[in-house]
Amino acid sequence: MAKKKATKKKKATKKKATKKKATKKKATKKKATKKKAAKKKAAKKKAAKKKAAKKKATKKKATKKKATKKKAIKKTAAGPATRRLGAGARAPKFELSDDRGQPVSSASLEGKSYVLYFYPRDDTPGCTKEACGFRDDLSGFERSGVRVIGVSPDKVETHQKFRDKYNLNFTLLSDPEKQLAKAYGSWVMKKNYGREYMGIERSTFLVDKKGVIKKAWRSVKVPGHVEAVLAAANA
């Protein structure tokens, strides 16, 4: 009986030890899982932090690039190529294609008086009104021996459509690279609802027979402008 009791006790002790071992193993496994989860969480947090830092750096770089570009545009606008010519200055030399695809140069205008007016775009309200104004008063300019020439960045084909649509009776020059506009200082920084951009300043120049600018009009308001230019041409 004592032997049976001892065996039973031994068996219980072994069972207890096995249970304890299993519990310890389970606890170790749980601890390892918890540690692994914490490590994974930390890695995830680190990756998120790194991603946020990279995003911030990219945004900062983009902002810096935008500021540099903006600065460059302003610098270009203020540079010598875009100096703002006025009365008394020599009219810049040029050679551009007209609305018939034919070349027109400053050399071909030597010894002649002419009006050179810069406008933003063909067939837009303000530009159309201005063009029609010069069209209607062209005889007055011709009597004064003054040739009228309009200039914009539009292509020759666009000029042709604009000319035909409104029966324009004077020359339109195509200045796609804004070379002439820059030479006169009519390619400027403009603002619209807080946005800054480069564009054509509506401006007009009356050049005399000696190739000197007699009078310049800038930031032109279309109403009454053609009349003012004609009066100056007749003076």
Single-letter residue type at 222? V
How many CB atoms sit inside 10 A of residue 64's CB? Answer: 10
203 vs 181: CA distance, rounded Å: 10
Distance of CA 80 to the CA centre of its chain: 21
* Cα distances (angstroms) measured from residue 107 to each of 8, 69, 104, 162: 124, 37, 8, 26
Backbone angles phi, psi at 18, to 5 degrees: -65, -40
Residue from 104, 115, 127, 151 carrying the catalytic annotation: 127
**Cβ contact 82:188 at 8 Å:** yes
Residue pointed to by tokens 């509506």: 202
132 vs 161: CA distance, rounded Å: 14
Verify whether residue 132 is a known catalytic residue: no
148 vs 166: CA distance, rounded Å: 16
Known catalytic residues are 127
